Amino acid sequence: MGAFVIRGGKPLMGSALISSSKNAILPILSACLLTEEECVIKQIPGLDDVSDMCELISNLGASVKVNGRSRKITVSARSLTGHTAGYELVSRLRASFLVTGPLLARLGMAKVALPGGCPIGSRPVDLHLKGFEAMGAIIEKGHGFVEAYCPDKKLHGTTIYLDFPSVGATENLLIAAVLAEGRTVIENAASEPEIVDLATFLTKMGAKISGAGTDTITIDGVDKVYGAEHTIMPDRIEAGTFMVAAALTGGDITLKNVVPEHLKPVTAKLRESGMEIIEGNDTIRVRGIKRPSALDIKTHPFPGFPTDMQAQLSAYTCFAEGTSVIVETIFENRFMHVNELRRMGAQIRVDGRTAIIEGMETLQGAQVRATDLRAGAALVIAGLAAKGTTEVLDIHHIDRGYEFIENKLQRLGADIQRIS
């Protein structure tokens, strides 16, 4: 499974180019199934999750050509030969459930295994299914699969209120509604930047969408959509992760290919803790000028503090002056990194969805295990700032969402090696 060996204590210096967003490309690849025509997706990140999604849509009958050198994926779903997404792939990649919407919209049927992905909470797909049912689909669950079909082969526009602004449910229903008959309105929709990127791509295909980026999205169904080209937005979580690493190691780095607007919650917390952040048009400079001050953080849907940055800030506040309190409101099982940070000497107490962190001057290098994607990133950050050598095991979790993270860190002066 591989490991990272990190010798801590070196400040990160220089500049790094942020990759395209994992959380944006996965629904966009899924949306390519809506059309018979060719779609070209540019600036693709080289991630395991992207490979898994390409394999999944290929299994459904799409032609998928990946050009790593030009960082481009060409998808042609001229004829879909299947409507079943099996357990092996779906168990690896939670986002694979996003093929349900386009399959229902185009074929009127879908059979998808119940999802896997990171083990950070139940994340049920009930919101997706309630939305599909409201659009006229019949849903049957059994033997680890969800089967959905439209009695008249077509989804019908309706008003859907999401009990929680789920990103995945918003994406799935948005994609499905593009080919539905009539108007669909998604209320209490997620407003994350990745939703806007998806809506931009769908609009290029010929979809009629308004309100993406707000809590109410309106989609007027069309009979057909067409091929399109699209460049994926930058990855705000990768950018946030590097910002935290630079601040904590006392570094001075400039991140390129970022949207500062997307990073406001992270920027605000780093500034609050005493760091210097300078925003450009598509750059952010981070200077770690002192030991961080303690922070209180509560995760929320966008534009609040992102749950995908909670683990990284947990590692950061282990080194802070004073007591920090971190409240996780999105996922009930997202403190799996805490036990690993404790192995490095961190003083953390967890009570339900709240972590109370007593800051220390430093942590000690230790052997630790990545339990999920963002927990793995948090352990890398802790290792970069800790005394001595840290070995992070099970780094396949990290490879799901960070493209060549050790290469980027090495170029910034970190002492980090990948071992098999």
| Catalytic machinery residues | 118
State the CB neighbour count (10 A cutoff) for residue 158.
17
Residues in the chain: 420
Instruction: Yes or no: say if 157 and 177 are a contact pair by the CB < 8 Å rule.
Output: yes
The Cα–Cα gap between 311 and 331 comes to 12
Decide the pairing of beta strands 183-187 and 216-220: antiparallel
Q: Which residues does 343 contact at the CB level (< 8 Å), separation at least 6?
A: 366, 367, 368
Instruction: Yes or no: say if 219 and 195 are a contact pair by the CB < 8 Å rule.
Output: no
Reported as type and span, the H/E element at residue 252 is strand 252-256
Q: According to DSSP H, which parts of 223-337 are helical?
A: 236-248, 264-272, 310-317
Please list the residues that pair with 147 across neighbouring strands: 111, 140
Instruction: Yes or no: say if 271 and 263 are a contact pair by the CB < 8 Å rule.
Output: no
Give which of 243, 186, 252, 247 is closest to 215, Cα–Cα: 186
Instruction: Yes or no: say if 272 and 201 are a contact pair by the CB < 8 Å rule.
Output: no
Tokens at 400, concatenated: 């799901």
Phi, psi of 127 (to 5 degrees): -65, -40
State the CB neighbour count (10 A cutoff) for residue 382.
33
Instruction: Yes or no: say if 161 and 187 are a contact pair by the CB < 8 Å rule.
Output: yes
The Cα–Cα gap between 359 and 293 comes to 9
Tokens at 32, concatenated: 């390519």
Instruction: Yes or no: say if 6 and 420 are a contact pair by the CB < 8 Å rule.
Output: no
Query: Would you call the peptide bond into 234 cis, given omega within 30 degrees of 0 as the criterion?
Result: no
The Cα–Cα gap between 213 and 195 comes to 7
The Cα–Cα gap between 14 and 167 comes to 34
